[in-house]
Amino acid sequence: MTIPIKGYAHVRLTVKDIDVSRAFYDAVFGLPVAFEVPEGADEATREQLGFLYGGVIYQLGDTLLGLRPVADDVFSENRVGLDHLSFTVEGRDVLDDAVRQLEERGTQHAGVKDIGAGYILEFRDPDNIALELFAPKA
């Protein structure tokens, strides 16, 4: 018997520097914050939000994307764990706009690629985590 899952609830990435990572994810994706410890929070609030580990969790549609500052090494998709994280976008035009935005930020990318079922744009976050935007073909 298998477990009948419906989808992902959340993904949390470990990062070296939460301030650097937040600046990147805020600027590139602009997602609303779902959970963070408020500035000046009392001890009870900090304890209640302890699951954040000093990080932040963003709302991404019906799911969550978290950043947790704990890593002290360098990301590699060639180790056991995460290979890359791919986000769906509406269409090819969004990828073309993303190319311009990434270039304005000085973020390197691999250009838009046609992979048959759709188009992808690959780039990396400040911790070298491989990110991808995917636009399905109509």
**Closest residue by Cα to residue 132 from 84, 99, 91, 68:** 84
What is residue 7's predicted lDDT score, i.e. its pLDDT? 86
Query: Using one digit for the tens of pLDDT, what is the confidence trace for 10-69?
Result: 999 999 999 999 999 999 999 999 999 999 999 999 999 999 999 999 999 999 999 999
Residue 71 has pLDDT above 80, yes or no: no
Quote the CA–CA distance of 106 and 111 in Å, as a whole number. Answer: 14
CATH of domain 7-72: 3.10.180.10
83-138: what fold?
2,3-Dihydroxybiphenyl 1,2-Dioxygenase; domain 1 (3.10.180)
Q: DSSP assignment, residue 51?
A: G
pTM higher than the cut 0.75 = yes
* Amino acid found at 64: L
Query: Using one digit for the tens of pLDDT, what is the confidence trace for 76-88?
Result: 888 878 899 999 9
Sorted by where each begins, the domain ranges of the chain are: 7-72, 83-138
